[in-house]
Amino acid sequence: MGWALIRAYTVLVYLFMFLPVAVVVLLSFNASQFGSFPMTGFSFRWFETLWQNDAIVRAFRTSITLGLMTAVVSTTLGVLAALALVRYRVPGRDMITTLLIAPILVPEVVLAVALLLFLNALNINKSFGLLLMGHVIFTLPFVILVVQARLVSIRRDVEEAALSLGATPRQTFLSVTLPLLMPAVAAGALFAFTISFDDITGTLFWKPGGVETVPTQIFSMLRNSISPEINALGTVMIVMTVGLPLIGAGIARHLANRKGG
Amino acid sequence: MTIEARERRQPWILLSPALAAVVLLLVVPLLFIVVYSFWLRSAAGADTPGFHLDNWQKVLSDRFYRDILLNTLKIAAITTAVCAVMGYPAAYFIARSKGNRMILLVLLMLPFWISYIIRTMSWINILGISGALNSVLLTLGIISEPIQMLYNEVTVILGLVHFLLPFMVLNIYVSLEGIDTNLEDAANSLGATRWQSFLQVTLPLSLPGLAAGGFLCFVLGAGTYITPVILGGPRDAMFANLVFEAIIRQLNWPLGSALSLLLLAVLGALVLIYNRYLGMAQLAKGLG
């Protein structure tokens, strides 16, 4: 089997991955009335319509608020738990880890049903609060995994040095561990935000009537037919969800370089 | 308080918020729907508590549910197989390529960041009545009328493969990356052809990655809700769609609970088998 053949095959696999997405971006600049081929010209008109569509702007606001709140709560819980798991000898560590990772092992539909029905029995109805709780629970495992992986690589000696030089545990944490941990905290928060921002299955179960996030808004717009507006919205989503992590990685690298140099 | 006692209590203080969240928002709710699945739905007002086997009897004996469950597992299995066939050579290429491995990897990770619903609906632009493929075929004169290629089982599998392929490639890549290339060279120098050394050395050593990728594709594929709604026809419902129907549309929560638990039991059994024979460590590697 020739290397050239494998290379050609790989190119095809990458084309399969990216061609459909590229078509979404391409069509979002189509001047034509319809969200389809042929392209009749280049135009930004669909982005303008998007901006003037109240429902979409509202959905964006909901998604961003929800994503930010999820990121804050999930990252706080996740960092604390990861610290305990890596830095202390906890009896039953493996079991605790499995328990904390469980939300990604349970199918999202099942998790969504269980949470909805249980909270309803407690008289907590479909609401923004329910959405937030749901998003926290399925982003938490990712945050813990990311932060844990990073924590393992921070050497204990540095902390011990600070302690032996007379710093209190709190001072050590705040001025030694936390700064070293910052990239992991940022990565965890970004992860939580993106997963929350992109979620649709759980959200469809938990959202109260009339509240839409960007993905559920797209979903309900798809019911009719694919409009050029959806392609434009897709392009905005792609720029946001791909651009943000890239910017984040850039900032992280910049900070790391500054510290190193 | 002594320092040791404090040292012993500290991790539990740190763990308690996360543990409380998982217990209150996942474990207890799951136990709750176990109880709920034995209740009865009443036409008006609250569901009737009690211990009734009606929902379970319906879920386990009704052919309709069984057929959709089997169909869901079939679709997940085909998707996994297609992902393996498409993903293995690509992962092999990335792992063994001399040059821009970093760029290839970043490109591979990129779909994780691109919205799932956008990636799913993007196929409508390709295969729809007025999609790219139809307009190419029309222009070339191969067809005279646009044909509807969407809304069938094939397009559901296509959408799932598109969604799950990166998981497969990444897991295979991780295990290929960990194989010492000297092993292959040794096999070659002992007279094996490249194809032989691949089949007898590299492929067996990369099986854990293939298994991890396959496991992820299958479990995520079988639990999917959105793809069949967007890319499938009326007859392509998967099991998660049944759950959504029961809970959100029919408001039959006891039945919906039983359906959810059946899905959890089937996929949970897979998780346990996988964990028993292969362990979760390989999966964690793929995630990191």
pLDDT at position B287 over 60: no
**Is the same domain home to A31 and A87?**
no
Spell B67-103 as b/e; 16+ CB within 10 A means b. ebbebbbebbebbbebbbebbbbbbbbbbeeeeeeee
**Is the same domain home to A39 and A83?**
no
- Give the pLDDT band (50/70/90) at residue A243: confident
**In chain A, how many domains are there?**
2
Q: What residues contact residue B246 under an 8 Å CB cut-off, 6+ apart?
A: B252, B253, B255, B256, B259
Residue appearing with tokens 């938990």: A206
**Is the same domain home to A114 and A77?**
yes
**Is the same domain home to A90 and A215?**
yes
Q: How far is B72 from chain A (nearest CA, A)?
A: 14
Within a domain: B24: no
**Is the same domain home to A205 and A92?**
yes
- The rounded distance, in Å, linking the Cα atoms of A144 and B15 is 11
Measured in whole angstroms, the distance separating CA B94 from the mean position of its chain's CA atoms is 23
pLDDT at position A165 over 60: yes
Sign of CA dihedral B202, B207, B213, B218: positive
At residue B1, the pLDDT reads 53
- Give the pLDDT band (50/70/90) at residue B241: very high
Residue among B14, B18, B225 minimizing CB distance to A109: B225
**Is the same domain home to A7 and A82?**
no
Closest of A207, A208, A180, A183 to residue A196, by C-alpha: A207
Higher-pLDDT residue of A25, B283: A25
- The rounded distance, in Å, linking the Cα atoms of B235 and B232 is 8
**Is the same domain home to A190 and A248?**
yes
Do the Cβ atoms of B269 and A107 come closer than 8 Å? no
**Is the same domain home to A92 and A218?**
yes
At residue A229, the pLDDT reads 86
**Got the DSSP string for B70-97?**
HHHHHHHHHHHHHHHHHHHHHHHHHHH-
What mean pLDDT is reported for chain B? 90
Within a domain: A51: no
Within a domain: A52: no
Within a domain: B12: no
- The rounded distance, in Å, linking the Cα atoms of A74 and A192 is 7
At residue A36, the pLDDT reads 67
Are B118 and A83 in contact (CB < 8 Å)? no
**Is the same domain home to A78 and A34?**
no
Q: Which residues of B touch A1 (CB under 8 A)?
A: 194-195, 198
Residue A73: CATH number of its domain: 1.10.3720.10
Are B223 and A99 in contact (CB < 8 Å)? no
Entry pTM: 0.90
pLDDT at position A248 over 80: no
Q: What residues contact residue A17 under an 8 Å CB cut-off, 6+ apart?
A: B107, B111, B162, B165, B166
Range of the domain at B245: 54-97+151-287
pLDDT at position A1 over 60: no
At residue A258, the pLDDT reads 66
**Is the same domain home to A30 and A63?**
no
Convert the pLDDT of each residue in B40-63 to its tens digit.
888 776 788 889 899 999 999 999
Are A222 and B26 in contact (CB < 8 Å)? no
At residue B286, the pLDDT reads 57
At residue A239, the pLDDT reads 85
Are B89 and A134 in contact (CB < 8 Å)? no
**Is the same domain home to A30 and A80?**
no
pLDDT at position A34 over 70: no
Q: Which two tokens stand for residue A28?
A: 């979002």
**Is the same domain home to A144 and A177?**
yes
pLDDT at position B96 over 70: yes
At residue B21, the pLDDT reads 97
- Give the pLDDT band (50/70/90) at residue A171: confident
Exposed, middle or buried by CB within 10 Å (0-12, 13-18, 19+), for B2?
exposed
Residue among A85, A113, A226 minimizing CB distance to B260: A113
Residue B270: CATH number of its domain: 1.10.3720.10
**In chain B, how many domains are there?**
1
Range of the domain at A28: 1-43
